[in-house]
Amino acid sequence: MSVVEDPARSIQLTDDGDLRHFLTLDGLDRTMLTRILDTADSFIEVGARRIKNVPLLRGSTVVNLFFESSTRTRSTFELAAKRLSADVLNLDIGTSATAKGESLSDTLLNLEAMASDMFVVRHSRSGAAHFIASQVTPGVAIINAGDGRHSHPTQAMLDMLTIRQHKGGFEGLKVAIVGDILHSRVARAQIRALNTLGVEEVRVIAPDTLLPTDVESLGCRVDDSMQSGLADVDVIIMLRLQRERMEGALLPSEREFYRVYGLSNEKLAWAHPEAIVMHPGPINRGVEIESAVADGPQSVILDQVTNGIAIRMAVMSMAMGGQRATAWNRTGEGSS
């Protein structure tokens, strides 16, 4: 009875329905997600050429604003921005600025003085990218590179691109996501993307301690056992397990987790024979996945990494396009 419209939609889309920020997959319809995948496909061709750069973001400054450390995600964002011909500034803020007592709003004010056009943000707090998008001056695009447990929309979209490449589409697919759903921004974004793109079924397989309350409301079915959960699935997504989960009394031990949920060739045999195995990385071999599976013929983990660059090029160019169109309209209105 309180909030009416979808707040995610209003903040990240322009009046014409184009992207201007990329914060979450909530509020984005199938047409938009397909457009992102198609755009990424076109950039994959670019990646195969000898000269890999396109001038879409020439003259723009992209700031990688990482409040939480990450090598891989930041590198692929950096590479994606450079292939779009943008100037890139990497800022690993960690917690240092906040430790010095500077608030996130103050940090932002300082960064905006550098006249950047886009912030790629990773932060340990859910909603941080939304918050930053609500604070920056109009015209600056925010790309969420992972916020707390909330969302990691570029990761989910590169996973969708990988699934589409291998399965041809989404209809009729059964997908199992295994592991620590509770703390996973990747899983939340994937469940949303898979539902929007129209898969037949999303199953989550985990002990209750690693599932959010009301997880079914996200659009998935809970399976307690790997055998029933993997039965006949086309896609298996394994999630990374963080070591600190043992300390919070969420799990007894890595060994027990591996015994029950670790993906071995034996368990993989329960799935559809042509099932693909995915993992957002970095992999804990012998904790959530056996080496033989990670390196085996059904694994598409390295494709995911390659697709990461194309997806990030796609959302960065689309968001910048939306911001420029909005700015164009603004000045147009102003001069008329």
Partner 1 sequence: MSLTWARNPERVRIEGATLVDPASGQQTDRSVLIDRGRVAALGAPADESPVDRVVSGHGCLLTPGLTDLYASLREPGDGQKGSMASEARAAARGGFTTVCTAPDSSPVNDSGAITSLIRDLAARHSPIQVLPLGAATRELAGERLSDMVGLTGSGCVALSNGGEPLANARVLRRCMAYARTFGITLMLQPENATLAAGGFAHDGRITARLGLVGVPEVAETAAVAEMVLLAEETGVRLHLSQLSTARGVAMLREARDRGLAVTGDVAIHHLCFTEEALGGFDSRFHLRPPLRSERDRQALLAGVNDGTLSAIVSQHQPHDDAAKRAPLAETAPGLSTIESVLSLGLERVAAGELEQSALIRALTVGPAAVLDLPEPALVEGAHADLCLFDPAAEWHPSADTLMSTGKNAPVMDRSLPGVVHQTWCGGHPVHSTGDNAGNGSGLT
Chain residues that interact with partner 1, rule: CB under 8 A: 1-3, 6-8, 11, 26, 103-105, 123, 125-128, 130-131, 135, 147-151, 185, 188, 212-215, 217-218
Helix (H, G, I), strand (E, B) or coil at 207: coil
Q: Are β-strands 276-278 and 235-238 bridged in parallel, bridged antiparallel, or unpaired?
A: parallel
Instruction: Please identify, using beta-carbon distances, which residue of 103 and 331 lies nearer to partner 1.
Output: 103
Asked whether residue 240 is marked as a ligand-binding residue, the answer is yes
Instruction: Please identify, using beta-carbon distances, which residue of 140 and 215 lies nearer to partner 1.
Output: 215
Instruction: Please identify, using beta-carbon distances, which residue of 130 and 267 lies nearer to partner 1.
Output: 130
Residues with Cβ within 8 Å of residue 198, at least 6 apart in sequence: 30, 170, 171
Query: Using CA atoms, how far apart are residues 284 and 293, in angstroms rounded to an integer?
Result: 12
Instruction: Please identify, using beta-carbon distances, which residue of 149 and 174 lies nearer to partner 1.
Output: 149
Asked whether residue 282 is marked as a ligand-binding residue, the answer is yes
Asked whether residue 267 is marked as a ligand-binding residue, the answer is no
**Burial annotation 293-332 (CB, 10 A radius, 16+ → b, else e):** bbeeebbbbebbebbbbbbbbbbbbbbbbbbeebeeeeee
Query: Using CA atoms, how far apart are residues 138 and 117, in angstroms rounded to an integer?
Result: 10
Query: Using CA atoms, how far apart are residues 15 and 164, in angstroms rounded to an integer?
Result: 29
Smallest separation, CB 184 to partner 1 (Å): 8
Instruction: Please identify, using beta-carbon distances, which residue of 106 and 295 lies nearer to partner 1.
Output: 106
Smallest separation, CB 2 to partner 1 (Å): 4
Across the beta sheet with 141-147, the strand order is: 87-92, 61-66, 118-123, 141-147
Instruction: Please identify, using beta-carbon distances, which residue of 217 and 336 lies nearer to partner 1.
Output: 217
Smallest separation, CB 185 to partner 1 (Å): 6
Smallest separation, CB 286 to partner 1 (Å): 27
Asked whether residue 73 is marked as a ligand-binding residue, the answer is yes
Inter-residue contact 206 to 223 (CB < 8 Å): no
Which residues partner with 13 through β-bridges? Answer: 19
Asked whether residue 190 is marked as a ligand-binding residue, the answer is no
Smallest separation, CB 64 to partner 1 (Å): 18
Query: Using CA atoms, how far apart are residues 77 and 83, in angstroms rounded to an integer?
Result: 10
Max Cα-Cα span within the chain:
69
Asked whether residue 152 is marked as a ligand-binding residue, the answer is yes
Asked whether residue 52 is marked as a ligand-binding residue, the answer is no
Helix 153-167 crosses helix 30-48 at what angle (to 10 degrees)? 80
Asked whether residue 281 is marked as a ligand-binding residue, the answer is yes
Smallest separation, CB 321 to partner 1 (Å): 24
> Known binding site for carbamoyl phosphate: residues?
72-73, 122, 152, 155, 281-282
> Known binding site for L-aspartate: residues?
100, 185, 240
> Known binding site: residues?
72-73, 100, 122, 152, 155, 185, 240, 281-282
